A and B are shown apart, each in its own frame.
Chain A
Amino acid sequence: SAVISQKPSRDICQRGTSLTIQCQVDSQVTMMFWYRQQPGQSLTLIATANQGSEATYESGFVIDKFPISRPNLTFSTLTVSNMSPEDSSIYLCSVDSGSTDTQYFGPGTRLTVL
C-alpha cells in the first residue's frame, strides 16, 4: 500500500482564519479523497480530488468553504476557510489502491478551532 503523509499533524486556530492541510503520497495515484471525522462520529466524505479536474464535493460541503487543489498525481491540499469551532475535527486524506476500490488513509490532521 502507498505511504501517505499529512501536514500539519495538528493545529489550533482562531475563529475566522483558514488552514491548509497537505497530503503527500509516495506513488502516483488516480484518486485522492478528503474526509472529516468529528468527535464520536464516523468518517464523512468531503470531496474527491482527481488530478487535472475540479474536485467533486459531497452534499453539505462547498468549494468556498473547503477549496481543494490537486496539482499532480502525488499531492493534494484541503483548505478549511473562515473557520468556526464547528470545524474542529480530524481531517483525513485517503488514496485508492489503483487496482481495487480499497482506500488507504493518511495519519490525519487534528484541528481545533477556538
Chain B
Amino acid sequence: QKEVEQNSGPLSVPEGAIASLNCTYSDRGSQSFFWYRQYSGKSPELIMSIYSNGDKEDGRFTAQLNKASQYVSLLIRDSQPSDSATYLCAVNMGGGYQKVTFGIGTKLQVIP
C-alpha cells in the first residue's frame, strides 16, 4: 500500500525560530510533492509544490526534496504564531487521475 508518513506532533517552536517538518513516502516512482497548511476548522491551503531534487524557496518557506531517500521536508523560517496550523504532505504516486495521497499532517505550534 502506498503511504505518506508524517509525525503528527505537536511540534512546538518559539517565535522567530526555524520549524522543520518532515515527510517520507513509499513509492519511489513519485514525481510530484506538495505541502498544504490547514488551520483548525478550515480546508487545506496549498503552500508549496516541488518536483525536482533540491530546494525550492518561497518567502519564509523552503521545500526540500530528496527522491533517493524518499524524503520531503518543509522549513519555515522566522516562525510566527500565525503559522500555527497542521501541515499536510501530499504526494502524487502516479495512481492516475492526478491522484495524490496525503499524510496525516504535523501540528505546528509557534509559541510567542
Residues on A facing B (Cβ under 8 Å): 1, 31, 41-45, 48, 50, 56, 92, 96, 100-108
Find A43's partner among B44, B46, B92 (CB 8 Å cutoff).
B44
Near A by CB (< 8 A), chain B positions 14-73 give 32, 34, 42-46, 49
CB distance from A43 to the nearest CB of B (A): 4
Say yes or no: B43 contacts A41, CB within 8 Å: no
Say yes or no: A48 contacts B97, CB within 8 Å: yes
Count: A-B pairs, CB below 8 Å: 46
Residues of A near B45 (CB, < 8 A) are 105
Residues of A near B46 (CB, < 8 A) are 1, 102-104
Say yes or no: A101 contacts B32, CB within 8 Å: yes
Q: A92-B43, A101-B32, A104-B46 are in contact. Are A42 and B99 (CB under 8 A)?
A: no
CB distance from A101 to the nearest CB of B (A): 4
Residues of B near A105 (CB, < 8 A) are 43-45
Interface of B is mostly: strand
- For this complex, into which size category does the number of interface residues on chain B fall? 20 to 34
The distance in angstroms between the C-alpha atoms of A106 and B44, with both chains bound, is 8
Closest Cβ neighbor of A92 among chain B residues: B43
The distance in angstroms between the C-alpha atoms of A100 and B90, with both chains bound, is 14
The distance in angstroms between the C-alpha atoms of A112 and B18, with both chains bound, is 38
Residues of B near A48 (CB, < 8 A) are 97, 99
The distance in angstroms between the C-alpha atoms of A44 and B1, with both chains bound, is 14
Say yes or no: A42 contacts B88, CB within 8 Å: yes
Say yes or no: B100 contacts A101, CB within 8 Å: yes
